[in-house]
Structure 1
Amino acid sequence: MARFKAKQPSSGAAEKKKPRMSNAERSAYFSRREAAKVLRSVLQGDAHRRAVASIKSLVYSPSIKNKKATFALVCQTLKHLPIIKDVLEGANILNSRWKRQVELVYIITYDILFGQEISFVGEAEKFLLQRKVSLQSALARLLVRKKMKRIEDLLDHYQTPDVSKPRYVRVNTLKLDVDSALIELRKQYMVEKDDLVPDLLKLPPKCDLHDHPLVMNGSVFMQVTSSMVAAALDPEPGWEVLDACAAPGNKTVHLAALMRGKGKVIACELNKERIKRLADTVRLSGACNIEVFHSDFLSLDPKDPPYSKVRAILLDPSCSGSGTVAERLDHLLPSHAAGQSANVDETERLTKLAAFQKKALTHALCFPQVERIVYSTCSIHQIENEDVVKSILPLAASHGFRLATPFPQWHRRGLPVLEGFEHLLRTDPGEDKEGFFIALFIREEGSVIHPSLSPDSSHLSLVERTKKKNLSKKEARIIMPTLFGGMFKMFLYSKPSFRVNLK
Structure 2
Amino acid sequence: MRFHQNLVAAVLDGADLIFNQGQYADKVIEKLLKRDRRWGSRDRGFIAETLYEMVRYKRLYGEIAGVKQPFTREDLTRMFAVWAVLKGHQLPPWPAFADTPVRRIRGAYDTLKTDRKIRESIPDWLDALGAEALGEPLWEEEIHALNDPAAVVLRVNTLKTNRDSLARALQAEGFATQPVEGYPDALQLESRANVFQSQAFQDGWFEVQDASSQKVAPLLDARPGMRVVDGCAGAGGKTLHLAAQMENKGQLLALDIYVNKLQELKKRARRAGAFNIETRELGSGKTLKRLAGSADRVLVDAPCTGLGVLRRNPDAKWKIRPEFLQEVTQTQQKLLTQYSRLLKPGGKLVYATCSILPAENQDQVAAFLESEEGKGFRLVSEESVYASRSGYDGFYMALLEREG
Paired residue for 1:415? Answer: none
2:332 to 329, 337, 357: 357
Aligned sequence identity (%): 24
Q: Answer yes or no: is 1:317 the counterpart of 2:302.
A: yes
- Higher strand proportion (structure 1 or 2): 2
Q: How far does residue 110 in structure 1 lie from its aligned partner after superposition?
A: 6.5
Q: Answer yes or no: is 1:400 the counterpart of 2:376.
A: yes
What is the 5 A alignment of 1:24-35? 32=10
TM-score normalised to structure 2 length: 0.68
Give 1:367's aligned amino acid.
L
Cα distance in 1 for partners of 2:71, 2:229 equals 54
Q: How far does residue 228 in structure 1 lie from its aligned partner after superposition?
A: 0.7
Alpha-carbon contact 2:15-2:51 (below 8 Å) kept: no
**Structure-2 change in CA distance of 1:314 and 1:71 (3 Å):** farther
Give 1:79's aligned amino acid.
E
Q: Answer yes or no: is 1:176 the counterpart of 2:161.
A: yes
What is the 5 A alignment of 1:343-492? 345-346=321-322, 348-367=323-342, 369=344, 371-395=347-371, 400-404=376-380, 423-433=381-391, 434-445=393-404
Cα distance in 2 for partners of 1:443, 1:91 equals 53
Give 2:242's aligned amino acid.
L
Cα distance in 2 for partners of 1:319, 1:397 equals 22
Q: Which has more radius of gyration?
A: 1
**Structure-2 change in CA distance of 1:91 and 1:368 (3 Å):** closer
Alpha-carbon contact 1:39-1:74 (below 8 Å) kept: no
**Structure-2 change in CA distance of 1:170 and 1:42 (3 Å):** farther
Alpha-carbon contact 1:425-1:438 (below 8 Å) kept: yes
Paired residue for 1:410? Answer: none
Cα distance in 2 for partners of 1:37, 1:89 equals 12
Q: How far does residue 150 in structure 1 lie from its aligned partner after superposition?
A: 6.8
Aligned-residue RMSD, C-alpha:
4.5
Paired residue for 2:249? Answer: 262
Question: Where does structure 2 lack aligned partners over 5 or more consecutive residues?
Answer: 85-93, 113-117, 121-143
Question: Where does structure 1 lack aligned partners over 5 or more consecutive residues?
Answer: 1-24, 46-50, 95-104, 115-131, 405-422, 446-503
Alpha-carbon contact 1:310-1:367 (below 8 Å) kept: yes
Q: How far does residue 260 in structure 1 lie from its aligned partner after superposition?
A: 0.8
Q: With CA pairs under 8 Å and 6+ residues apart, which has the higher RCO, 1 or 2?
A: 2
Q: Secondary structure at the match of 2:155?
A: strand
Structure 1, 373-382 or 266-275: larger mean CA deviation = 266-275
Q: How far does residue 358 in structure 1 lie from its aligned partner after superposition?
A: 0.4
Alpha-carbon contact 1:185-1:191 (below 8 Å) kept: no
Alpha-carbon contact 1:194-1:202 (below 8 Å) kept: no
Cα distance in 2 for partners of 1:375, 1:304 equals 21
Q: How far does residue 211 in structure 1 lie from its aligned partner after superposition?
A: 3.2
Cα distance in 2 for partners of 1:269, 1:425 equals 25
Q: Secondary structure at the match of 1:246?
A: coil
TM-score normalised to structure 1 length: 0.56
Cα distance in 1 for partners of 2:178, 2:352 equals 28
Cα distance in 2 for partners of 1:60, 1:90 equals 23
Q: How far does residue 437 in structure 1 lie from its aligned partner after superposition?
A: 0.7
Give 1:212's aligned amino acid.
S
Superposed CA deviations along residues 253-285 of structure 1, whole A, max 9, x for unmatched, are: 111111111222222222355445434433332
Query: How many residue pairs get matched?
Result: 343
Q: How far does residue 369 in structure 1 lie from its aligned partner after superposition?
A: 3.0
Alpha-carbon contact 2:156-2:166 (below 8 Å) kept: yes
2:226 to 239, 250, 263: 239
Q: Secondary structure at the match of 2:401?
A: strand
Give 2:221's aligned amino acid.
D
Give 2:333's aligned amino acid.
K
Superposed CA deviations along residues 169-202 of structure 1, whole A, max 9, x for unmatched, are: 211012212332233345553522532x432234
Cα distance in 2 for partners of 1:226, 1:280 equals 20
Cα distance in 2 for partners of 1:216, 1:60 equals 19
Q: Secondary structure at the match of 1:184?
A: helix
What is the 5 A alignment of 1:53-452? 55=25, 72-80=46-54, 82=58, 135-136=96-97, 140=99, 143=100, 148-149=102-103, 163=148, 166-185=151-170, 189=176, 191-192=178-179, 194-195=181-182, 197-204=183-190, 206=192, 209-223=195-209, 224-271=211-258, 274-295=261-282, 299-304=285-290, 309-326=294-311, 328-330=312-314, 333=315, 335=317, 345-346=321-322, 348-367=323-342, 369=344, 371-395=347-371, 400-404=376-380, 423-433=381-391, 434-445=393-404
Q: How far does residue 60 in structure 1 lie from its aligned partner after superposition?
A: 6.4
Give 1:77's aligned amino acid.
L
Paired residue for 2:91? Answer: none
Cα distance in 2 for partners of 1:239, 1:64 equals 43
Cα distance in 1 for partners of 2:70, 2:356 equals 39
Cα distance in 1 for partners of 2:220, 2:251 equals 15
Cα distance in 2 for partners of 1:42, 1:289 equals 44
Cα distance in 2 for partners of 1:308, 1:42 equals 49
